[in-house]
Amino acid sequence: MNTSKTTINNIQTFDHNEFVVTTSIKPRKEEVLRAISLSSELDARYVSRRSFNKYKSENHLEFYYVVEKEGLRIRWEGGEFFFHPSTSKMRMRNIRNNQRDHLIETLNLEGDEIIYDLTLGLGSEAILIAAHLTTGKVVGVEASKHIYTIVKYGLQTYNDPSPWVNESFKKIELIHSDYKSWIREQEDQSCDYCYCDPMFENPVMSSSGFNPLRPFAVYDKVSPEDIHQMKRISKKAVILKALSKDSLFSEIEVDEIRGSRTSGVLYGVIHC
């Protein structure tokens, strides 16, 4: 059967409308009710687990949501996507071992800041940033409804053995929106920093923890007008993330570039 996958930056992406919601095998009543509620929230079909194999054999599905006792995940042929703190724990461990983290150094947080993370993804950097806040918060904006949904349910149900991770969750506010339109609706100087981490042009495919997210991501490029809006709503700075081999910093003028030439991960800083 024909699929509707397309390729962006050598990444296969899904038709984001070809999916259903189901449960794990032998679900409890609570999981069934959550799955029905989620299907309504996503304007999608709910398929009971008893009927799922038959439905899948008769209909084309790009992927499907599975509501489980432990949480929520998306599955497809050969892969699955679920919430986890990703690299935030490793980076925090490095910081506590007196190693440099260029993003946290660049932000130089006092604890009461409001940070707009305009490309939330799995939220690993939002979690790390939130850990350095006391009264402040991170507003995470995510355009992909499927990434947003997985992260939203993850923040609500995931319990990490590291208390600081769970405390970070409480300081993250989620917004489902295209950041390009969202920033244009925000008031002047409404945050301290805008942080934007667009999908890399030349992704590191060995990043196995990030790969399951790629088919669901939004691949819009940052424009000079976007930067103008980010500067308008920021009090201190706009921070952009890119790989050294990407074209972002040749297209967008920044005041300084920080980061690791070894890893190739760079942060461009535009002071406001």
| β-strand partners of 258 | 267
Q: What is the dihedral of CA 32, 34, 39, 45, to 10 degrees?
A: 0
For the stretch 4-38, pLDDT in tens is 455 545 556 666 778 999 999 999 999 999 999 99
The whole-model pTM stands at 0.90
Task: Say if domain 88-271 classifies as CATH 3.40.50.150.
Answer: yes
Backbone angle region of 262, left / alpha / beta, with phi > 0 → left and psi within -120 to 50 → alpha: alpha
pLDDT tens, position by position, 206-245:
555 668 888 888 888 999 999 999 999 999 999 999 888 8
Write down the domain spans for the chain. Answer: 6-82, 88-271
pLDDT at 215: 85
Q: Give yes or no on whether 6-82 and 88-271 have one common fold.
A: yes
Mean pLDDT of 74-90: 92
Residue 244, pLDDT score: 84
**pLDDT over 90 for what percent of the chain?**
76
Q: Please tell me the predicted confidence (pLDDT) of residue 1.
A: 35
pLDDT of residue 204: 60
Question: Is the pLDDT reported for residue 63 higher than 90?
Answer: yes
Q: Give the pLDDT of residue 247.
A: 82
Question: Does the pLDDT at position 187 exceed 90?
Answer: yes
Residue 3 pLDDT more than 50? no
Distance of CA 263 to the CA centre of its chain: 21
pLDDT of 203 reads 58
Q: What is the pLDDT of residues 99-115, one digit of tens each?
A: 999 999 999 999 999 99
Amino acid identity of residue 49, one-letter, is R
- pLDDT, residue 78, reads 85
Give the chain's length.
Answer: 272
The residue type of 68 is E
Q: How far is CA 85 from the centre of its chain?
A: 11
How far apart are the C-alpha atoms of 171 and 126, rounded to whole Å?
9
User: Each residue of 175-192: b (16+ CB within 10 Å) or e?
Assistant: bbeebbebbeebeeeebb
- Tell me if 268 sits within 8 A of 249, measured CB to CB: yes
Tell me what percent of the residues of the chain surpass a pLDDT of 70. 90
Q: What angle do CA 210, 67, 31 make, to 5 degrees?
A: 155
List the 234-243 sheet strands across, edge first.
172-176, 137-142, 114-117, 191-196, 234-243, 265-271, 256-260
6-82 folds as Rossmann fold (3.40.50)
CA–CA dist 121, 9 (Å, integer): 17
Residue 262 has pLDDT above 90, yes or no: no
Largest CA distance in the chain: 58
Average pLDDT, the chain: 90
- What SS3 state is found at 164? helix
Averaged pLDDT for residues 139-147: 96
Query: For residue 52, what are the contacts with CB-CB under 8 A and spacing of at least 6?
Result: 22, 64
